Amino acid sequence: MEPLQRVTAPTLDVLQALLAQEEPLWGLVLIKTTGRPSGTVYPILERLERQGWITGSWDDDPDRSGPRRRRYAFTGEGRVAARDLVASADEHRARAAARPSRRTAPGRTVAP
């Protein structure tokens, strides 16, 4: 499994959506869950699959009408790495939110 070279907010959204479910999810569910467009979600899924974080498989349910769906699930290592990455990003956001605002110069106050 390769480490992710780029970790963007949409990538974290996709990882979180996949982590929230134990069963494999298809792309449309991930699009709806994350609120991200298909042109963002599918390239992320392709990159995660290429780097060994997830596996994709075609759902060939003969009783279901419509086009086949590709379902995505974490590999064992991918799930662990995704949990670590999401937790690290959450910690980073919490630290950033706790920092004081730097809108004014140090030692200066803003008049009401």
Q: Is 103 a domain residue? A: no
Q: Is 90 a domain residue? A: yes
Q: What is the pTM of this model?
A: 0.81
Q: Which domain holds residue 52?
A: 9-98
- As for how many domains the chain has, the answer is 1
The domain that holds 24 is classified in CATH as 1.10.10.10
Q: Is 112 a domain residue? A: no
Q: Is 74 a domain residue? A: yes
Give me the amino acid identity at 94.
A
Question: Average per-residue pLDDT in the chain?
Answer: 89
Q: Is 105 a domain residue? A: no
Q: Is 94 a domain residue? A: yes
CB distance 16 to 85 below 8 Å: no
**Mean pLDDT across the stretch 58-67?**
84
Q: Tell me the CA distances in angstroms from 45 to 14, 55, 72, one per residue in order.
A: 8, 9, 8
Residues 63-72 have pLDDT tens digits of 888 888 999 9
d(CA 110, CA 72) in angstroms, rounded, equals 52
